[in-house]
Amino acid sequence: MPSNKHHTALYSAANAYMSLWHLVGDGSPVQTASSYLVPVTRDGFPAMLKVTSDPDELRGNHLMTLWDGQGAAAVIEHDRYALLLERAVSGRTLADFVYAGLDDDATRTLCKTAERLHTVSLLNQEKMRPLKSWFTALLESSSSRAVWLKNCACQAQNLLNTPQEQIALHGDLHHGNVLDFGPRGWLAIDPKGLYGERTADFAALFLNPDLADPQRPYAISPKRFEQRIRLVSSHAGVEPVRLLRWIQAWSGLSAVWFIEEGKTPDIQRTVAYLASAALS
């Protein structure tokens, strides 16, 4: 966890950028493990100031500038450690769609957003984090884990050894990271800045919105899982078996992160089993 000294540094930097970019506070700041976020306005326009020194977050910031508002929130200003983005104010989420019985619409929206993001050319892939590096936690710990996690790790290793259609990836594309920006439509935020196989970018949505709200299980429904596979395969143009393999691998990675935080990865285990069963 970042130290209090680190948090203080982010707070001080945010104040400096508030002055530099002529911003006015428009809500309570949010302190995360890696970033300091401040809702602001500039000339009456709602925006979000993000200040971070975290390497993964900085890679994501770089990718946001490359997307240039195409499928993602527009970057108004950027500096080495700071990003000023347009801010969604409607309050509508894709999770709301899911709980209203409109999961198909939410899934299609995620696929459309991914399509826009994936068309952007990556000029320098060295600024992105390779998927093989992203999966380190799963690959290096699998020998001491449960059998189902070992299977996830094996799946991940095989996929990473045979990459297809490699591009810049969002890395965390799900219901909480694609927001309603009104006339501009549904746009992505908070990318991780990865580089790897395109199909991998659709895996995270199969764990959500359950990870954000486990008391309202939805993604773990076998019927909904099967329907999501059909929709993503069709609308994203990815091969179903390859997609299932990435879902199993991604579920294992997410589970290891949960375990490291002292949490129980029930959702990840269930989704991994659903993917494994569909592959059998």
Question: Looking at residue 129, what is its pLDDT?
Answer: 96
Question: Looking at residue 152, what is its pLDDT?
Answer: 97
Collapse the DSSP code of 173 into the 3-class scheme (helix H, G, I; strand E, B; otherwise coil) and give the result: coil
- In this structure, what token pair is assigned to residue 46? 């709602």
Question: Looking at residue 1, what is its pLDDT?
Answer: 42
Assess contact for 237 and 199: CB atoms under 8 A: no
Marked catalytic residue, from 68, 105, 172, 201: 172
Query: What residues does CATH 3.30.200 cover in the chain?
Result: 4-86
Judge whether residue 106 has pLDDT over 50. Answer: yes
Mean pLDDT of the chain: 95
Assess contact for 160 and 195: CB atoms under 8 A: no
Q: Please write the tens of the pLDDT for every residue from 59-82.
A: 999 999 999 999 999 999 999 999
Q: Which CATH number fits domain 4-86: 1.10.287, 1.10.730, 3.30.200, 1.10.760?
A: 3.30.200
Active site residue 172: yes
Judge whether residue 112 has pLDDT over 70. Answer: yes
Name every residue whose Cβ is closer than 8 Å to that of residue 152 and which is 6 or more positions away in sequence: 138, 142, 248, 249, 251, 252, 253, 255, 272
Query: What residues does CATH 3.90.1200.10 cover in the chain?
Result: 94-279
Question: Looking at residue 7, what is its pLDDT?
Answer: 76
Handedness of CA 223, 224, 229, 230 (dihedral sign): positive
Judge whether residue 2 has pLDDT over 70. Answer: no
Geometric angle at alpha carbon 84, from 83 and 89, rounded to 5°? 130
User: What CATH number belongs to 94-279?
Assistant: 3.90.1200.10
Between residues 5 and 176, the one the model is more confident about? 176
Give residue 123's pLDDT band: very low, low, confident or very high (50, 70, 90). Answer: low
Collapse the DSSP code of 271 into the 3-class scheme (helix H, G, I; strand E, B; otherwise coil) and give the result: helix
| 5-14, 43-52, 60-69, 235-244: range with lowest mean pLDDT | 5-14
Q: Please write the tens of the pLDDT for every residue from 31-66.
A: 988 899 999 999 999 999 999 999 999 999 999 999
Taking the C-alpha atoms of residue 278 and residue 103, their distance in angstroms, rounded to an integer, is 20
pLDDT mean over 135-141: 93
- pTM equals 0.94
